[in-house]
Amino acid sequence: MASRRPINDLDMARWKEYDEILTDSLWLLGKRDNHGAHKPDYWGNFAPQIPYQAMRRFTRQGELVIDPFAGLGTTLIEARRLGRHALGIELNPTVAEAARERIEAQENPFAVQTALLQGDSACSETAERVRCQMEAWGYEQAHLLILHPPYHDIIRFSDDPRDLSNAPSLKAFLAQFEQVVRRFAPLLEAGRFLTLVIGDKYAGGEWLPLGFYTMETVRQQGFRLKSICVKDFHETRGKRGQRSLWRYRALKGNFYVFGHEYVMFFEKRATAASLSR
């Protein structure tokens, strides 16, 4: 066993009291949580309930969470609310700056550390900066990774060629995603969890299962798959009001309109080094 310490603060003597913690793989989250500094105004941000569930299940208070695709900082805002330290990385400088402001607007009742670094998560120099920040906070390793990459080119987040949403092909997207996993996996303690949030895409009349492709990438990087949760899809602003158009297209084109995305959970396998510790 890699880690015998509990990986959450749930008291199993009181397990019947945790109604708020999901244990089924079908996540019908309904309305987005808009409390505190959370706002639904960034295309492609996820519901705060996702990092909430991941942190409650797979971290303890005072532990460290890393989000290499931080966007407007949903994970970091939620980390402040839950008393977890958090480090986010975001490529787009404007988004990174806006995220910092938003995170600072969130109360910090547990006095945790949060930092949003601007950089390319696929690059070794960024991983080194993350490592330095961790060291400054007194951490050798993190306790949870949350990855919410672009769903390839479904939403273009910038013009930067290093942005995964600008990958010229599916193959290139998966190669960049693999780089990010390779950079960040070593920063996670063995026996701890990686959460991957992703949806599929449709192109050229074909359903492209980005979820399953990226799942396989993570598995190949020393993780075992623990769960695939299917979450009801938060309607994007673009699709709002176009429901009947999409229904028409689906009927005509012999496909189904996306109503879900995946929240997958992986456990980092113990390495020979961590076993001997």
Ligand X SMILES: C[S@@+](CC[C@H](N)C(=O)[O-])C[C@H]1O[C@@H](n2cnc3c(N)ncnc32)[C@H](O)[C@@H]1O
Residues at the site binding ligand X, with contacts judged by CB under 6 A: 42, 44-46, 69, 71-72, 74, 89-92, 95, 120-122, 148-150, 157-158, 162-165
* Least Å from the CB of residue 147 to ligand X: 9
**Smallest separation (angstroms) from ligand X to the CB of 99:** 7
Closer CB to ligand X, residue 177 or residue 190? 177
In the complex, least distance from residue 217 CB atom to ligand X, rounded to whole angstroms: 15
Q: State the SS3 of the chain.
A: CCCCCCCCCCCHHHHHHCCCCCCCCEECCCCCCCCCCCCCCCCCCCCCHHHHHHHHHHCCCCCEEEECCCCCCHHHHHHHHHCCEEEEEECCHHHHHHHHHHHHHCCCCCCCCEEEEECCCCCHHHHHHHHHHHHHCCCCCEEEEEECCCCCCCCCCCCCCCCHHHCCCHHHHHHHHHHHHHHHHHHEEEEEEEEEEECCEEECCEEECHHHHHHHHHHHCCEEEEEEEEEECCCCCCCCCCHHHHHHHHHHHCCCCCCEEEEEEEEECCCHHHHCC
**Widest pairwise Cα distance in the chain:** 59
The nearer residue to ligand X, 64 or 127, going by C-beta atoms, is 127
- Tell me the closest approach of the beta carbon of residue 160 to ligand X, in angstroms: 7
What is the number of the residue whose Cβ is closest to ligand X? 71
Query: Which of 122, 194 has the CB closer to ligand X?
Result: 122
CB of 121 to ligand X, least distance (A): 4
Q: Please state, in angstroms and rounded to a whole number, the distance separating the CA atoms of residues 129 and 121.
A: 10
Smaller CB separation from ligand X, 32 or 269: 32
The nearer residue to ligand X, 157 or 223, going by C-beta atoms, is: 157
- Nearest residue (CB) to ligand X, 44 versus 209: 44
Residue 89 CB, nearest approach to ligand X (Å):
5
Nearest to 234 by CA among 102, 74, 40: 40
**What is the residue whose two structure tokens read 């995964």?**
164
Residue 201 beta carbon to ligand X: minimum distance, rounded to whole angstroms: 13
Question: In one letter, which amino acid is 106?
Answer: Q
| Complex with ligand X: residue 71 or 211, whichever CB lies closer | 71
